[in-house]
Chain A
Amino acid sequence: MDSAIVGAARAQFSLTLMFHYLFPILTMGLGTLIAFLKTLEYFKKDERYGIAARFWTHIFAINFAFGVVTGIPMEFQFGTNWATFSGRAGDIVGQPLAMESAYAFFLESIFLGVLLFGEHRVRPVVHWLSSILVAAGSLFSGYIIVVTNAWMQHPVGYKLVPGGEIRLTSLMAVLLNPFAGWQAAHTIMGSLVTAAMVMAGIGAFYTLSDRHRQFARLSLRVGIILGLLFSLLQVYPTGDANSANVTVYQPIKLATMEGLFHTEKGASLAIIGMPDEDHERLLDPVIVPRLLSFLAYGNADAQVKGLSAYPSDLRPPMAITYYMYHIMIGLGSLFIALMGFGLLLLLRGSLFRTRWFLWALMLAIPFPYIANEAGWVVSEVGRQPWIIYGLMRTAAGVSPNVSAGEIVFTLLGFTGLYCVLGLLFVFLVGRRIAIGPEDDEELEEHPIPPQTGEADW
């Protein structure tokens, strides 16, 4: 297949996917945190949690709307740009995608309506349950999408038939793919870290600007405690188990992301360093001896295969996979440090006065997004040259009847449209944050009576 078509189709898919993913990164985690706040509100009968939940539901709703409108192109593009892949593997890939809309979308979109507009139309218990169903819907959605991806990373439950078609033999095998569980857990944990850090960051912003004091402190407290918990779980066990799967099922990806050119016994782990592919070495590396062997195989002397052990046409693009992996790891470690220090300050009771740290928390908001996106780039670029690992090459999956010129045209269209959407999003969320939660300054003296009418969306 013409490489211009493959390049254009991949560029379009990565642009639309990475842009789309900016929104679910937050909503998967934030939905869970909102359910957490609603649960506290419901059982402790404490209106402060309700106010916080209402504010975050507004933020969730804007993200959800952008997530929905940018998510539709994803489902369509399998057919428009990757017709050969879809035609041959649709029997399998279509299953989880159809299930996603059957369960998750409906749950989310309908119960989000109840959450936003229904507070004074339904009983509190129904409203609380709606928040849980919204969270369940977005988590299930995340799981099922990762199942689809995991099948492309490590195909199971299929048989090949003459004519090149890939037939489903067991849906259960696909849904319980050994690759999927940890990958999904790691993905969802990434989203939870993001939500917790956004919560803490916004809390820091309000504290620094001395507004909505009570809401800000609540957000900081919840954000930091859960943020530390999630960022620890992000590394261990989810990240560790996920890379163990990569070690077993995709050793070439492992060598690429770790920047290991040559097979080594007792391989060292490169913390930083720039790959020089022409001379097959790392420039200016900082390494920890034998650590890679230990992490990959639990044995510091184990042999780890390097890139030179594999034919060059099976190697994924090196630099981008390597850098994105290191960015992800670096940021993940930073989050633990940041949240750990935050917890320390919180326990000492000086968090709300330590302005430099609040600044750091506020400015850290973009970084979990970068870490999540970087992780997916490692996963997807590192899978190349395969669209289905070991079964079908990416170049063989494109649509035979779509020309590169058409794709470039729509790629430009998406780029323009998404620039506008991105600006609108930043503007609207910024505005919502500037408005802030319902004024809780008075709440400290006398509680706000329940609002009449409906949410002003």
Chain B
Amino acid sequence: MMTEITKTTTRLQDNIRDYNWQYFLKDNITGSWYQTAWIAILALVAALFAVTQFNEAPTATIAILAAWGVGTIMVVVGTLFQHHTKVSRWLKNNLISSVSNALLSLLMMLVLGMAARGIALWAFINANFNPAETAPEFQSQSYATWGVIWGARKLLMTGRMTPEDSPRVWLALWFILGMWALTYITGRPALRDKLQRVRQGIMGLWILSPVILYVFLAGIANSPVYNIGAALTGVVIAVAIYALFWTQKIIRFSWMNLISAAAAWPAAYTIWWAIGRSGILPPINVDTWGGLMLSLIVASSVVILSMPIGMMLALGRRSEVYGVPAWITWPVAIGVSIWGFTTTPQLLADSRSPIEQLFAFWPIAVLVLAYGFQRAFKGNVVAGASTAFIELIRSVPLITLLFMGIIMAPFFFSAGTSIAKPWPVIVGYTLFSAAYTAEVIRGGLQAIPVGQYEASDSLGLNGFQKMRFIILPQAIRIVIPAIVGQFIGAFKSSSLVSVVGLMDLLGIIRAIVANPQWLGLRKELYVFLFVVYFTGSFVMSSYSRRLEVQLGVGER
């Protein structure tokens, strides 16, 4: 035993004697004058901070200092023995690699420790969780009054919906949860192949789920007239699309499919009408929607609606169909501008300011426009319009579109039409989101190597076939993670609808803090909001990362 200790001590003494202290000093402290100054400043700040914190919370400060001291000693001993344990090696690599890093770690530990202590005191240790004690006389700056979250849970979740409507919300919630559970269970590897048919059915139900949820949450009005014209128009459109796809050879003909395509719309319309007629699910006042439910409704409807619109815009922007030829564009443009110039003298005579004088020469703009149209888009109307739409929308803030929805929507409908607030907001937001989705999809389309396009051309595929079988399957795989990112963005930005007066999570919180029962409990509710948004976004982005691996983006 004694010999052990003596041996160790001698080894330590040897190592200390052999250790090159001069190098250590030169590397860590006296390398250059600014290194010395940096170390001195760091040490000073850490010491000052430790002293001030010691006055406030002695135990915590001592604990942190002790932890740091033990860690440093472990690293020093390990270095001198030239033998590191697992812990001391990790510490040496990550926290205490040099004197400057050691001091920086100490400072950070002190700052974090104090912040953690403050948060713990405010949020947990001193906090009041009683939902009955939320009025101003129970509140304090030094602790949180969490009772408000439970007390206002109904407002936070669904806003100001009337109690009669709440079973329908529960129904919608259980429907979604049930769908998730079913998808998860049937997706297990053991059942995956056996339940092929069931999985297809569930997929169909997912596609229909927006409509089903709409029926649950908004209800259907009772209309006495069965609109046969609408039903038949649907049939005609469905058959026309079917015929187009068939002639373009992207679907195979079968009577079964044709009939189901033709019957789908009338069937759906009839069911819709019947539900409305029977009055099982009467309409709900959509303006009462609120809370988390409204945030989710806005985010998901925006993403679902902006996908097809964005896809069309992206394809439109990249379309290469024959445009209006130059021999039509130019004569028209020149004709219009010649006619326009006849108005110029009158406009000039009437003008009251230099700007109006400038506007008198408006026909020049027509010529410039024609030139740009021919030059940039080769006369392609669809590409021109798509590009203009995307760029226009992308250059203005979301909030202007939301306000446009609220303020200008009534102007676009014939007089006397009243629309519930969420709809125009969703439309404005969808237009905004579609422009961004279009750019994401266009990025995906551009990421497909030119060789793929050329190869499908050389196989003799037509435009539809090329898109359907070659390009889109690859492009969609590339853009899915980005689309999930867009969904996260839409979920986060849905908080903007509160600015235009909708009662989403943020909007309802502003109403809650004005309620005498919960007056001024801002911090608690904002922290709750941070937690909700953070959890939601974090889960989704983790899912997106997993999806990226699953889809093998960036691999072939």
> Do A and B make up one complex?
no
